[in-house]
Structures are given as C-alpha cells and as structure tokens.
Structure 1
Amino acid sequence: MAAKGRYKNDQWNLDDSFGLGGTGDILAHMALDTDPPFTLGITGKWGSGKTSVMRTAFATLKGNSLQQGLAFEKAISERETTHWKALAFDNTKRKRKLDWDEKQVSTAEQCLSIWFSPWQHQNEQNPLIPLLLEIRTQFSTWIKLKEKAKNINRRGGLAGLKLIELVLDAAATLSIGRNVNVARGTSDSVRKTWNEAAPNLTELSDGQRFHLLFQDAVENILTTIAGKDNPSELETGARLIIFIDDLDRCEESVAVTLLESIKLYLGSRRCVFILGLDDTALLGTLSRHWQDRSEDDNRDYLDKLFQATLAIPQPNQTSVKTEIAKQLRLHNISHATARKCTEDITNLLEPNPRKLKNFTNSLCAAWELGLGHGWQGNDTLLLRQLILFQYLRLNHRPVWRLLERQPQTLKLLHRTITGASETEPLDMEGLKLPDQRLAQEMFSRAFAHVLQDNNEPTLRGNSTNLESRHRNMELEQAVNLFIDRLDRKRSDETFKTLFATVFSKNDVVDRHFLSLPDPEPAP
C-alpha cells in the first residue's frame, strides 16, 4: 500500500479513523441474522460515512475486492488488500473481535456478497441488467480465485454462470417484450412453470416467472459457494447479500426502477439487500417522480420496501480529534497548537466526516502557503485566526470577499460580532463614514441570527414570515431546513465566541492571509 500523504482523500476507507467500524461489524452481523427476503436501509446524510460502513461489512463477509474499480483510480485491490484481508470474518484476530457463534460462521461460509453502484450506470434504461451483470462478474471472479486454489466444483460454477446469463436475457425481455426460451440447467419446477405460462414476458405473470428463474440461479450459485452438489443440501441460512450504494445519487427514473425491481422481481428467499441512501433525498426523489402522491404515501412505500433501517451514528469525537490533530502534526504544527486548534475545529463544524476532512485539508493547505510566505509570530494564534478565516471562506463567502478587498474592515466585523458600543467612525483609508456603516450593516446581516434576540424582528424577516414560509412546505422539507438552520446557528455562535477570543478590536487581516509576498530584491 502506498505511503499516506498529508492531505486526506474523501474515498471510503477501512481503517476506522472516525470510529465507525463497529457499525460495519453490526451491519455484517445483521446481514447474517435476518430471515430473507430482507431489505435493509443504511441511512445518513451526505458525507456521514455510509459507504465506509458498508464496505467494512462487505469486507467482513469476504466480498471480493478485486473487481471493485473506482473511476479515475487504480483497482481497490491495489489500495486495500491488507485491510481487506484483516477484516474477513475468518481472520484469526477478527474471529475474536466479532465473537460470532458457529451458526453465524457457518452461514457466512455459504454466502456470496456483491457490491453494486447504480449511479455508475445512469444511462441504462433498466438498472436491473447492470445489477445482474455485476452478480455474474463477481461470481465469475470468485470462480477464478477458487480455480487457482483448485478448490471448486467447476461444473457447478459453470452451471451457475449459465443460469445468470439466462436471467440476464429474461431481464432484457422485461424491457423489450421479446420471447425467451429457458435453457437447460434450470430446475424442473422452474422449467414447468416457465413453459406453461405465456411465452411473451410482457404478460401479467412475467414477474412471477422471472422471480422463480432468479431464485433458481441464486440457489445454484450458493450451492457452488458452499461446495455442495445439490441446492437441497444448502443450509437454510445460505444467502446472496447485495450491497447497493449511493442510490440517492441516481437519476429519479433509475432509482425508482431499481427499487421496483427489487420489490417485484428479486425478493428471493435467499437474498438480502443492503441499500445505502440519504432517506430524505430519496423521499424527494419519489415526490418528484410520483407527483400525485403525498409525502405519507411515499414514506409508506419505503416502509414496505425496507424491513429495517440502520442510521449511521455521528463519528466518535475522540477518534475525530485524534485524526485531525494527527494531520495537523504532519504539517509541523506543535502538539499544543494542534490540540487547541483541533478543539476549535470540532466545536465549529458539524460532525460530518466529509466536511471535517474537507475543512482540515483546506486549512493545512492555507497554512503551508502562509509558511512559504514567511509568517512570523505565535503559531497558535495565527492558526486559530486562520481557522476562522477558513470558516468564513466556506460558510460566509460575502463576508470573506469584503475582508479580502478591505482588510481594515476586520475592525468593523469585531465591533459587530462583540456588540461593541462604539459608534464613532474609524480611521480607514478609502472608507468614509457612509461606507463604514454600510460594511457594518453587511456584517450584521450575515450574523443577524446570532446577534439579535430571537423574539425580535431580524434583517432577514420576522418570525411570522419564517413560520409562514415553513407552512407552505412539506413537513419533511420544513424540518430539514429548520435543522440546517440550527446547525448553522450553532456553528456561527461558536464562531462568534472564538472570534472575540482570537482577535482584538484593532486587528486587521494579516497580509499573509491574502496575497503573495513582495519578491526578493535582485542582488
């Protein structure tokens, strides 16, 4: 594995840096402890760590990493082999941590886990087809690995692949309505049901016939996985576990078609589906797709589809602080400064792994740029000030633009934030009294929600207007906006407290925060 850099990417990871690994272990256990058919939703906001949790469970269940390529990246097998193998349920150290009983271990040994990212197939009219192709590809890879180890019933494996190809043909007919013949190798009951039904798969019974064919293919695959000669020898717990990530990133038609396919065609007694999604975003997708349905109808639809949901918890604060401080230390920031600044960052930001990584990366880049410019002074104070400027860059861009163009207005921002009673004009080059008043008005507007009494009218409107606005929205949307508003308010209140601590009333924005230094004079 390549050496780790000083800036952290936003790809999923298996190293549990933010303390979410235990959730992945629970998910793997749930996948084995359900009664199929079963669909489980893994819910969480954008950037909350859903993919990392699902990948941990996938690796625990010995999902195959070799075919998991990423756009614009090398195959995951080149990045994650060590962690991947260490997470497998049959790894000696892992066994002790998981503490599964014999039944769970036996079930895991007769399972095949598949990973599918539907948003990578946005151009497919029928997302069921790329899902089935992924099952075929990953099962084929499993066969090749076993062939190398000379530990497989090759005939059974080829039969399973043939059946999956037939299922693929049948899936295509669900879209285009052409006839399909059932190949040799299907069970007698499936062949009988198929042949007695109308030959055209656009008839009403097509879904039932497709369901039987898919179920037969799954049982043949699992028979090969378990090393058995006949599906009747399978343990009752043997199952195909399908992880579907980023469903809410899909186009509306793709997301809905895939959900309908799972509901109508893939509900096999040997299948467990695990779907990673932002449930709020998915509800919005359903509302746009079925505009004549109410919010309650769409929620009922999801309740019927999912037998359980597992919400991603907030990351462990101790782990978060450890990771941020570790990254700051990589940039030659002292232990004491790193600890203090880590507290500022975690107090200031929402506990979202993606946002924390993004902010810390940007902060470190700005710090390195400043060091290259010859920053002088107290590192702790400079970095704490830089944290607040970085916060303004990301969350109050108009305020930061004004400070960039007029660094002296930091004095006016200080007056605004601290509620200072001074009213006399400041001696600012190029800014007369009317301009100073206007700048302070801009700052007051930006932070009105943390500067004024909540019962008083604000520059953005009084409480009556806000209530009226929310009444015209669906309840789900109104609650989400309200929560976002509370999050922003909490962060801005923290900013207000920190700002009064690290800036004085006479400070201006240090030139190193804004521009390149003057060139060295020629010798």
Structure 2
Amino acid sequence: MAQGISVTDVPHTGIDNDILGTRSYAETLAEFIRSCDTPITIGIQGEWGSGKTSLLQMIEAYLEQNEFRGSYNRVTQGKDAYCVIKINTWEHSILRSPEESLISILTEISENILAKDGQWEVAQKTKKFLGKLARGAVSIGANAALGGGGGALAADLMDAGESNTIKELRDTLDKVVKEVVGRAENPVERFVVFIDDLDRLEPVNAVKALELLKNIFSVGHCVYVLAIDYQVVVKGLKGKFGEITEANEWEFRAFFDKIIQVPFMMPIARYRLDDYMQGLLQQIGYYDKKTIGTHVSWLTRLIRLTVGYNPRSLKRMVNSLSLINIHAKNDSSVSGMDKLDLDIIKGVSLSLVCIQITYPRLFELLMRSPNFTDWDSDFAAKISSVDGDEKGALEKALAHAVEHYGEDFDEDWEKALFLLTWNMRIQRHRVIEMSKALSIIKDDIITDRHAEQLAEYMSVSLARSAVTSVVSFENALQTDDEDREKAGATKRLSMEFWNGLRGFFDGTQTCFANSIRPATSVVSLSRKSPGDESISYYVSQRLSSFIGITAYSVDPTEGYALLQFLKKNSNEIEAAIGAKVRFKIDPSNTSQEMRVVCPADTLKERGNVLNLSAGDRSAYGKSIIEVFPKLEEVVERKLGEYRTKSAEELAAEIDPGVPRPEAAEDNRPVAGTAEA
C-alpha cells in the first residue's frame, strides 16, 4: 500500500483488492445470481458506509470473469451472458423531484434493456410509456409545489389497474427480455440490475422508489440487487405505520419482505478489521509497521469500542489523524511537547479522535476538564443534575452498573462519567464503552509509568485533536499559566499523598493491600468488602468523607436496612475506631453511606478537598492509617452479625420501611473528634 497523506472514500473495485475479506461472500452471491430462478430481488443490507458498493463491484467482477453455458448449449463469457445494469439512485435524485427521479431510474433501466433488443417499434412504444409517466411526474411535482395534494394523482399513476401506464411498461419490458434471451444469436441469458445508494435518499423517498420499482421486479430473466439498509425503510415508513413498536414491527417487516426475497447482511463482524486499520494508519505514515505492532492490542479494542467496523468511519478517523499530524508539524503554539513522549501523544490523540467521532459530547466534556481521573460527583453536579423520580432511576441504574460491571465503575471518575451520561442523556446505552475507552487511555497508553503526567498528555492531545472537531471549544482550551501551574501542583501533591500510603496498605490485611497503584492521582479510592460485594470501602482526600463505606443494592430497602443496623450500632463503631461517624441513608435510594468524620481541627481546607501541604498530608495520612484498619475490622464483624440475624430479629431492631425525612443526611452535631 503506497504511503500518502490521506485515504479516499471510494468503493474498491475488482476481486484482488479484497482488503475487508469479503471475497467469499461476493463469489457466493455471484454464483446464486447465475443459478437462481427469476425474477428475484436480493437485498444487500448494511449501514451507510459499510461497504455495500464495494461488494456490488466485486459481485460484478465475479459475474464477468467466468464462462457460461446457457441456452442452445452455447458457451459465452460472463460479461456477455449477464447484462449488468448499474443504477445510482443518488445521481438520479440530483435537481429532480422524487417523482421525476423515479421516472429517470425507470428510464435508464428500460434503455439498457432495449439496447439489447434493437427493435425500433418496441423502443418507440416504450418511450411513449416513459413520456406519459414523466408528464405525470411533472404534474405531481408542480401540483405539490403550488400547495396542492399530489398524492391522489400519484396513486392513480402507480395503481395496478388494467390501463395503468406502469403495468403497460412492465409488460412491454417483460416481452422484450424474453425475446432477447430467447433469440439464438443473442448471448444474453439474464439481466442483473444493481440499484445502489438508496440509503443516501431521504428515507421517505427511498420507500417511494421501492414502491415504484417493485412493479417492474416481476420481469422474468431479471435479478435485482438492491443495496439498502433496513433501518432506512423503517424510517421511511413511519409516516404510514407510526413509530415502530413490538405490536406493529411486523408491518415494517412485511413491507420489506414483499420487495426482498433474498436478504443478505453485510458481514461487518467478519471484516479483517485489524489488517484494514493497520494498513490505513501505515498508509498515512501515522505509525510504521514496527511501531504499530506494539499498539495492536489496545488499538483494536479502542476501535471496537468507538468507531467500530464501519469502513467509512475508519477512513474518517485516519484522515483526521493525517490532518492533525500535518497541523502539529506546522504549529508551535502547543506548549509542553518537549517534556512528553511523542508516541504517547499520538496514541492519546488517536483515541480522542475516535471519541470525537463516536461520542462528541464526551469529547466536549474532556475539552472542559481534560484530566478525567479528577472527575467526581461534584464535577458531574456542576455540569448537570437530576432530581425527583429521575434521581431514583439514576441511582438504581448506577447500582446495577456497579454490581454487574464493577471494574468499569469502581473509581470516582467512572461513576462521575455514569452520572454525566445519565444526566445529560449522552448515549446512555454506550456508557460502558465510554468508560473502557477512557481506561485504555489511562492504563494502556499513558500507563502507571506516566500517570503523573496524565493531565499534560490529555491537554496537549486535546489541543491537537480539536482541529478536527465539528464544534468549537476555544474557551475550554484557554487556561492561563497560573491556573495550569496550580492544577499541576495539586496533582503532584495528590500523587505524593497516595504514594505515601502505599507502603502502609501493602503491609496490612485490609482490602486496600497491594491495590494502590504507583503514581495514583485520583481524589478517592474504593475497594469492595472481602465479605460482601455490595459493600465498598473508600479512602478520600475530601474532608467531608475521608473514610467510609457505601452500600449498593438494586433493592433500596436492602442497603437501607444494613446501614440502619450499623447506625443502631454506631456507638460501638465509634468506640472501636476512635472517631465519629455520620450516615446518609434513604429507603428510596439504591446507594447508602456511612462516613467517618475527618479530624478537621488539625487540617486546612481548600473548598471541600484537603490542602495537601506536607504538614497536612502527614496528619491526614496518620488519621487514615490509624482509623481504616479498625473501621474495616469492626464493620466486617458487624456485617457478619447482620447476616446471621433472622428477619424477625432485624425487624425488632430496625424497620426498613419507615420513611426518612426529605433531608436524608444524618446531621447530628459532632462534639469534637477523638484523637485517632
């Protein structure tokens, strides 16, 4: 593959240029077309840009390359035996009304068939029918343009009555085709009509085209191959059947099945995605063959989580990267490049372009706050929030995500991402893929080795990739040097804080043993309870909740009952840990919480987050080191007691069904915190 600066978005031609691995499917379809009974209509289904046109080109090549033994026992070349008629519906629709474009399509099909007949009288008769249809189409368009209803006239024109022009045209074409195929001196055995680019039309117009064309699909010795996405048909039929539901889905399918006798779905899941993607990246010089081999693992996962298998989306991604590369060479305004690894920048930039294409709102959030590992519930609340019934649904959904996809939502930034996608309605059904994609940037591209520079890598890479964004984010990129320096200093202090705790936790038997990564830079860390996966312990830099536990349960009453039990035993817990505790519990929420009160009298505050100076770090770290093992020991013991109690015993101690006040937080006064 020759190196260049871009890749073109044109269909691939020929059999040898099989870069997606669809040759066997093209050969199979070609064999079916050669052998099937006629008339028949084949539907090549697939989303826009999935390679339908390239497959049609390959089918045509297979049809033309072989010899064919047909009528009169004659042997002819495939290109003579199969008269391939290629119709591009998009070209026929340019500067024409929908009705006019349909007549133009019919005209081209008819002219190609008549060219194989050569009878002047038949040609004149056919032109007469086409002229009548064209005049009717113009009348319909003019009537509609003047505000009249063209629907009745269109229905009359396309009615299957005895004197209908379309029926007459179809009968004439049927007769011509039979005469052409039956003539001894004519090698044509069948006509193969490729109708492409229907999904580029407005869905309503695409359905109109299908409704008209189905009237001529019954012409014998003809095989019609339509490149069409079923979803386009669904959209085009909404005006007729309404929004698709389980109750009316059969109506949409019945319309499709009346036209398509042989459905074929583009095998995008079988595409040679790795080879194709690597070839494109090497073609533009983004990676060489040796370098790309070291990135294949995360690169393949990233593509599948973002742009997916669509060849057109991959080409867009690659061309965007090429533009970014060129701009980066000519632009010296992005500061900090000399201190960073260029290979990591290229990896992060590639990831961001994939996110930009697939999840544009997520890209917008990254532009607003590049260091996504600092995202938390406070950040999510500043962007968007919900309340009322929606809040309950959100908490239930988050609890379900934590329970079933724990590794994707076990950090604060991942939970914040979930909240943001829910609150802002940002492709909620893709939140797991978004979380995994960001984790690839953090864990596979930047890695722990460079974790302390994550903010710098993200800022530089966002500045580079913003040139291909369809939305302007200039304000998000404008951060003065002082703010940037403060953010970097806070990040370094945060990392020093967590690294200072690593040795302690690794030497204990707590749930955080051997689990804090080097250079961890998040605001808080959480780990599941060894004895109960619905319970998570956390340690945090936030003064309001520097240590605590959370209980997630799909059934709100379950976690509520457990935390009520712990609250009932709060005196015992406080005595064991030497600190006060507060509870945030509500029977309607899926998440319940017990917080240990921070010894704030010995620390200085920066908003709600600790000012991590050396002195504060020492006192804060000492508090966690001394409190947390005791907290885990007493909570695990109380969890054991809770699980052994019968329902009757629990009912005697607590009542999970008792409604709580609207302010669910237990804000009882704290009369001084005991020395930890």
Matched, 1:117 2:88: yes
TM-score, normalised relative to structure 1: 0.63
Q: CA deviation at 1:487?
A: 5.6
Give the structure 2 partner of residue 129 of structure 1.
103
- Residues 85-484 of structure 1: pairs in structure 2 closer than 5 A: 88-90=64-66, 109-120=80-91, 121=93, 123-135=97-109, 138=112, 156=118, 161-162=123-124, 164-169=126-131, 171-172=133-134, 204-205=161-162, 206=164, 207-220=166-179, 222=181, 227-228=185-186, 238-291=189-242, 294-314=248-268, 316=270, 318=272, 320-325=274-279, 327-328=281-282, 330-331=284-285, 333-349=287-303, 350-373=308-331, 376=338, 378-401=341-364, 403-404=366-367, 409-410=369-370, 412-416=371-375, 437-438=378-379, 452-453=401-402
Gaps of 5+ in 1: 62-87, 144-152, 178-199, 229-233, 420-435, 470-480, 517-523
- Specify whether residues 289 and 248 from structure 1 end up closer, same or farther in structure 2 by C-alpha distance, changes over 3 A only: farther
- Specify whether residues 48 and 398 from structure 1 end up closer, same or farther in structure 2 by C-alpha distance, changes over 3 A only: closer
* Conserved 8 A contact 2:298-2:440: no
Whole-angstrom distance in 2 between the partners of 1:506 and 1:135: 65
- Specify whether residues 454 and 246 from structure 1 end up closer, same or farther in structure 2 by C-alpha distance, changes over 3 A only: farther
Whole-angstrom distance in 2 between the partners of 1:217 and 1:303: 27
Q: CA deviation at 1:39?
A: 0.8
Letter in 1 for 2:443: A
Name the SS for the 1:32 alignment partner.
helix
* Conserved 8 A contact 2:27-2:59: yes
Whole-angstrom distance in 2 between the partners of 1:326 and 1:312: 21
Letter in 2 for 1:53: L
* Conserved 8 A contact 1:19-1:319: no
Give the structure 2 partner of residue 493 of structure 1.
436
Letter in 2 for 1:60: Y
* Conserved 8 A contact 2:379-2:416: no
* Conserved 8 A contact 2:4-2:285: no
Whole-angstrom distance in 2 between the partners of 1:123 and 1:366: 40
- Specify whether residues 452 and 415 from structure 1 end up closer, same or farther in structure 2 by C-alpha distance, changes over 3 A only: farther
Residues 79-130 of structure 1, C-alpha deviations (whole Å, 9 max, x = no match):
xxxxxxxxx414xxxx8xxxx8879977763321111122331524154421
- Residues 58-73 of structure 1: pairs in structure 2 closer than 5 A: 58-61=60-63
Whole-angstrom distance in 2 between the partners of 1:265 and 1:306: 13
Whole-angstrom distance in 1 between the partners of 2:217 and 2:242: 26
Q: CA deviation at 1:414?
A: 2.4
Name the SS for the 1:258 alignment partner.
helix
Gaps of 5+ in 2: 140-156, 387-396, 410-414, 468-676
Q: CA deviation at 1:490?
A: 3.2
- Specify whether residues 438 and 336 from structure 1 end up closer, same or farther in structure 2 by C-alpha distance, changes over 3 A only: same
- Specify whether residues 444 and 388 from structure 1 end up closer, same or farther in structure 2 by C-alpha distance, changes over 3 A only: farther
Mean Cα deviation higher: 488-497 or 262-271 = 488-497
* Conserved 8 A contact 2:84-2:192: yes
> Given the alignment, which residue of 34, 38, 48 partners 1:36?
38
- Specify whether residues 310 and 459 from structure 1 end up closer, same or farther in structure 2 by C-alpha distance, changes over 3 A only: same
Q: CA deviation at 1:275?
A: 0.7
Give the structure 2 partner of residue 67 of structure 1.
none
Whole-angstrom distance in 2 between the partners of 1:29 and 1:354: 28
Letter in 2 for 1:414: T
* Conserved 8 A contact 1:17-1:319: no
Letter in 1 for 2:195: I
Name the SS for the 1:309 alignment partner.
strand
- Specify whether residues 329 and 111 from structure 1 end up closer, same or farther in structure 2 by C-alpha distance, changes over 3 A only: closer
Q: CA deviation at 1:40?
A: 0.8
- Specify whether residues 202 and 114 from structure 1 end up closer, same or farther in structure 2 by C-alpha distance, changes over 3 A only: same
Q: CA deviation at 1:494?
A: 3.8
Whole-angstrom distance in 1 between the partners of 2:273 and 2:289: 16
Whole-angstrom distance in 2 between the partners of 1:367 and 1:166: 58
Q: CA deviation at 1:379?
A: 4.0
Give the structure 1 partner of residue 516 of structure 2.
none
User: Alignment RMSD, CA only?
Assistant: 4.5
Matched, 1:502 2:445: yes
- Specify whether residues 302 and 398 from structure 1 end up closer, same or farther in structure 2 by C-alpha distance, changes over 3 A only: closer
Q: CA deviation at 1:53?
A: 0.7
Q: CA deviation at 1:450?
A: 12
* Conserved 8 A contact 2:110-2:173: no
Residues 196-254 of structure 1, C-alpha deviations (whole Å, 9 max, x = no match):
xxxx9978202543321121233455568x743xxxxx78xx22211111223323443
Whole-angstrom distance in 2 between the partners of 1:318 and 1:42: 19
Letter in 2 for 1:310: F
Name the SS for the 1:506 alignment partner.
helix
Q: CA deviation at 1:449?
A: 7.4
Name the SS for the 2:65 alignment partner.
coil
Whole-angstrom distance in 2 between the partners of 1:243 and 1:108: 15
Whole-angstrom distance in 2 between the partners of 1:176 and 1:402: 50
* Conserved 8 A contact 1:128-1:258: yes
Q: CA deviation at 1:315?
A: 5.8
Q: CA deviation at 1:258?
A: 2.1
Whole-angstrom distance in 2 between the partners of 1:3 and 1:45: 28
Whole-angstrom distance in 2 between the partners of 1:201 and 1:325: 49
Matched, 1:26 2:33: no
TM-score, normalised relative to structure 2: 0.50
- Specify whether residues 167 and 242 from structure 1 end up closer, same or farther in structure 2 by C-alpha distance, changes over 3 A only: farther
Name the SS for the 1:324 alignment partner.
helix
* Conserved 8 A contact 1:315-1:353: no
Q: CA deviation at 1:352?
A: 1.6
Whole-angstrom distance in 1 between the partners of 2:385 and 2:274: 33
Q: CA deviation at 1:6?
A: 3.0
Letter in 1 for 2:231: T
* Conserved 8 A contact 2:41-2:225: yes
Name the SS for the 1:275 alignment partner.
strand
Which structure's CA Rg is the greater one?
2
Q: CA deviation at 1:4?
A: 7.2
Give the structure 1 partner of residue 18 of structure 2.
16
Residues 343-389 of structure 1, C-alpha deviations (whole Å, 9 max, x = no match):
43331121221111111221232233334457555443232122223
Give the structure 2 partner of residue 66 of structure 1.
none
Mean Cα deviation higher: 263-272 or 38-47 = 263-272
Give the structure 1 partner of residue 625 of structure 2.
none
Whole-angstrom distance in 1 between the partners of 2:300 and 2:228: 25
Give the structure 2 partner of residue 195 of structure 1.
none
Mean Cα deviation higher: 24-33 or 274-283 = 24-33
* Conserved 8 A contact 1:39-1:272: yes
Give the structure 1 partner of residue 5 of structure 2.
6
* Conserved 8 A contact 1:20-1:53: yes
* Conserved 8 A contact 1:392-1:399: yes
* Conserved 8 A contact 1:384-1:502: yes
Whole-angstrom distance in 1 between the partners of 2:131 and 2:313: 44
